[in-house]
Structure 1
Amino acid sequence: MRTKDFDEQEILKKAISIFWEKGYHATSLYDLIDGLGIGRSSIYHAFGDKHNLFVKALEQYQQEATGRIQAALEDASSVKEGIRALLRIGIMDRLGSECPKGCFKVNTEVELATHDELIKKVLREDELLIEEALIKAIKKGQEEGEINVSKEPTVLAHFLCNTITGLRVYSKIRSDRPFFEGVIETALSVLD
């Protein structure tokens, strides 16, 4: 049996960057060979095909991103500050970028989720983790008197997830900080 002569995690990080820059459909096998620094046979041996490589890259990206989201909610000084941090993740650091790429996950939702059932399933499973983390945080905020108890935690979580997606779509075409700060503050006001 042949052993891998590369670090799979490093290859997945490179694959995320390539797919993020070009999108799934526009990324050729030659782009992957060149960008990953491994041969065609190594790609096929390790991942099967381009689609499987993409799925593994997406899962890796989501695992890391969801970890940052959960940490933002858990490590904040208050629930609202955690939600503020969550709304800002992936937006404020991209402002002013010469080549705004948006969010890899949102780009994937737009490009593939409507016609690729496996991708849709992977995206939805991750979205449920984020929703659960938000629902937990919102309930804690309600118990501590920080969030209005008359509002349904699940509905608020859905609203916040929708707002996050919208912010990330806009981050591809807008770079003015006041726009994003205004949306974030308005979203937070819904919790009152």
Structure 2
Amino acid sequence: MSNSLPDSVITDHINASRGRGRPREFDMEQALDKAVRVFSERGYHATTVCDLTQAMQLASGSVYKAFKDKKSVFLAALDRYKTVRDTQLRAVIGAGATGKEQVRLALAFYAEASHGAGGLEGCMVVGSAAELATFDSDVAQWVTAALTRNEVLLGTLIRQGRQDGSIPQHVDDAATARLLLCLIQGMRVVGKTGRTRDEMTVLVDIAMKVLA
């Protein structure tokens, strides 16, 4: 399943605008970033097309030319959200010298996202899993794939730690990765209730004990 926006859709939108003599081009990534914030804060069902047009700073006609409906905007925003977050996460963990350090950096990344304004905004993956995955097969597949990628990444870091000696050999990489996945997704849920940085970052130190 592919949720990315076809280049032809964007081209058609631009060409149609030019045909009217009033060209209106916009940065698709910036528009989707704004849609991400709305969906993360409000959820899918509580977000209206009017909310999206205001947040994306587009006329409703432009939204409908680029996306056929609200669900299409949502799926494209999910892709954008995951792409940006994955890039940020990999840049953060890249600073770790050992597998164990990289696991800590990954957990700290999610702890930082789970407090203050960012925590209140929430996570599109967690929100989608809770709100839509049971009833929408497209979203269910997307959420499953996203969570699986995170779990695989954590398992890979744990195995690296066992190889470089920073994590004991007895640590089960698959089960521990699943435990840490549950922790980081839980952080994002709890972060929606309004938590301090200290409340979230202390969880990293506790979680790291499972790698001892």
Q: Give TM-score, length-normalised by structure 2.
A: 0.82
- Which of these residues, 96, 101, 105, is aligned with residue 81 of structure 1? 101
Determine the structure 2 residue equivalent to 1:173: 193
Deviating 4+ runs (over 4 angstroms): none
Pairing 1:78-117 to 2, within 5 Å after superposition: 78-92=98-112, 95-97=115-117, 100-117=120-137
Greater Cα shift, 91-100 or 51-60: 91-100
More off after superposition, 92-101 vs 57-66: 92-101
Q: Secondary structure at the match of 2:117?
A: coil
- 1:80 Cα deviation from its structure 2 partner: 2.1
Task: Identify which range, 13-22 or 53-62, moves more after superposition.
Answer: 13-22
Q: Deviations over 1:77-127 (max 9, x none)?
A: 332222122112243355343981222321222111121111111112122
SS of structure 1 residue aligned to 2:111: coil
Identical amino acids, percent of aligned pairs: 29
The separation in 1 between residues aligned to 2:162 and 2:118, in whole angstroms, is: 41
Q: Which runs of 5+ in 1 are unaligned?
A: none
Does the 8 A contact of 1:70 with 1:133 survive in 2? no
Contact 2:112 2:201 in 1 (8 A): no
Cα drift, residue 183 of structure 1: 2.1
Tell me the amino acid that sits aligned with residue 67 of structure 1.
T
Write the letter of the residue equivalent to 2:99: V
Contact 2:111 2:197 in 1 (8 A): no
The structure whose Rg is larger is 2
Q: Which residue of 2 aligns with 1:14?
A: 34
Cα distance in 1 for partners of 2:98, 2:154 equals: 13
Can you list the C-alpha shifts for 1:159-186, whole angstroms capped at 9, x where unaligned? 1111101111111124234432332212
Identify if the C-alpha distance between structure 1 residues 93 and 65 changes in structure 2 by more than 3 Å, giving closer, same or farther: closer
Moved more, 84-93 or 128-137: 84-93
Aligned counterpart for 2:163 among listed residues 143, 161, 186: 143
Contact 2:110 2:187 in 1 (8 A): no
Residue 118 of structure 1 corresponds to 138
| Number of equivalent positions | 192
What is the aligned-residue RMSD (CA, Å)?
Answer: 2.1
Q: CA deviation at 1:189?
A: 0.6
Once the two structures are TM-superposed, the CA of residue 58 in structure 1 deviates from its matched residue by 0.7
**2:47 corresponds to which letter in structure 1?**
T
1:147–1:191 CA contact under 8 A, matched in 2: yes
Structure with more of its chain in helix, by fraction: 2
* CA contact 1:73–1:137 (8 Å) conserved in 2: no
Distance 2:151 2:62 in 1: 37
CA change 1:171–1:152 in 2 (3 A) is same
Does 2:210 match 1:190? yes
Give the partner amino acid of 2:42: K
For the 8 Å contact 1:69–1:130, the answer to whether it is kept is no
Q: What residue number does 2:64 align with?
A: 44
TM-score (norm 1): 0.89
Cα distance in 1 for partners of 2:154, 2:138 equals 25
Question: Could you tell me whether the CA contact under 8 Å between 1:15 and 1:32 is conserved in 2?
Answer: yes
The one-letter code of the counterpart of 1:35 is A
Contact 2:107 2:204 survives alignment (8 Å): yes
Matched residue, 2:91: 71
